[in-house]
Amino acid sequence: MLRRVALPTLLLSLGCFALASLASAYVVQKGDTLYRIAARESVTVDELKRLNNLSSESLSVGQNLKLPSEAAKVVKLSGLEVEAPSVVRQGEAFSVRLRGARAAEARVRFLSETSEDVRSPAEDLAPFGAGGEYAVLGRVVLGQTKPLVYEVRLGSERITGSVPVKNTLGRVQNLNLPSSTTELLQDPGRAAEDALVEKAYARRTPQAWTKPFAFGNAIKVISSGFGQPRRYNKDAKITYHYGVDFPGKVGTPVLAINDGTVVIAGTYPVRGGLVVVDHGLGVVSLYFHQSKLAVKIGQKVTRGQKLGEIGTTGFSSGPHLHLEVRVRGEATDPADWFGKLLP
């Protein structure tokens, strides 16, 4: 049974204030070009491209860009060069890059994850890539404040590095839920829904994408910022906004942000009309609240392919797309992915 509740409208409007506080990475504005940003920051366009793993010079509004103050640190082992970020922020998706003749043999773990509330902590990661250029994907859990610690092993050699975590998420919103909403969140169907999504998070398939991630052009305005901390009732645990909300008319096409395989396509009590695409390497994208679905489980989809249509099904009261990009189950800022082959 689907119920509509008033809360998300409130969240949508409060979310607008959150955007301004996500300023640790530069957020691309209307009219920005790489040339203008580079000139303003006194760097070259090539430096900005390299720092941000950009494969072209086109930018999209709302995309996150790193500036040179956040340039990566490089550490060397025999036959291997390791490039890790010098600073990360909560909810950030990032890559640790490995170069050199022996890069493919290296293994990477994020040791700090063992002390955090995180899915698949300190998983042993084999780098992906080719031709001496490899990478592993990292994620900073929302709520994490301690430095991120990574470990790189190559044969008998082992190095660790520590990266400070910035909190750019803004103040906690205190929200009191109406009893109708509390009921929805206790819906017996919810546990089954959550278990299904957890299964999708646990998938580890080969990299399915070869082009940069891209958000379709149909919806341009972001109404609710990623990562906003929320406390739903007094003294309750803090939760976060695990995705980004894009308002749009019911029926507006919802497009895949990159190639992959559909692993969930159905309608559920909380997420409503839901499509989940597995892009490989533990990266999945989730598209909530759709009115109609255009794909089936098991179907291969390509970047820009229609997955369904915007709606307001599930835990939603206004038509919008809630988009999440998860890395090994943890929510990362979708804006870190747009326009890039890797975050």
What mask, x for binding Zn ion by CB under 5 A, covers residues 224 to 263? ---------------------x------------------
Q: Judged by CB, which is closer to Zn ion: 92, or 245?
A: 245
Structure tokens at 212: 């940069």
**Which residue's structure tokens are 């970047």?**
303
Q: Judged by CB, which is closer to Zn ion: 95, or 290?
A: 290
Q: Judged by CB, which is closer to Zn ion: 97, or 322?
A: 322
Residue 99 to residue 131: CA distance in whole angstroms: 9
Spatial strand order in the sheet of 128-130: 73-77, 80-84, 93-99, 133-139, 128-130
CB of 91 to Zn ion, least distance (A): 14
Residue 84 to residue 315: CA distance in whole angstroms: 38
> Contacts with Zn ion in 285-304 (CB under 5 A)?
none
CB of 247 to Zn ion, least distance (A): 10
Say if CB 228 and CB 15 are below 8 A apart. yes
- Judged by CB under 5 A, the stretch of 36-44, 67-75, 154-162, 316-324 that binds Zn ion is 316-324
Residue 15 to residue 25: CA distance in whole angstroms: 18
CB of 24 to Zn ion, least distance (A): 21
Contact between 322 and Zn ion by CB under 5 A: the answer reads yes
User: Which DSSP string do the residues of 33-80 spell out, in sequence order?
Assistant: -HHHHHHHHT--HHHHHHHTTBSSS---TT-EE--GGGPPEEEEETTE
CB of 216 to Zn ion, least distance (A): 17
Residue 53 to residue 196: CA distance in whole angstroms: 33
- Judged by CB under 5 A, the stretch of 91-99, 104-112, 146-154, 321-329 that binds Zn ion is 321-329
Number of residues lying near Zn ion (CB under 5 A)? 2
Q: Judged by CB, which is closer to Zn ion: 259, or 324?
A: 324
Contact positions toward Zn ion, by CB under 5 A?
245, 322
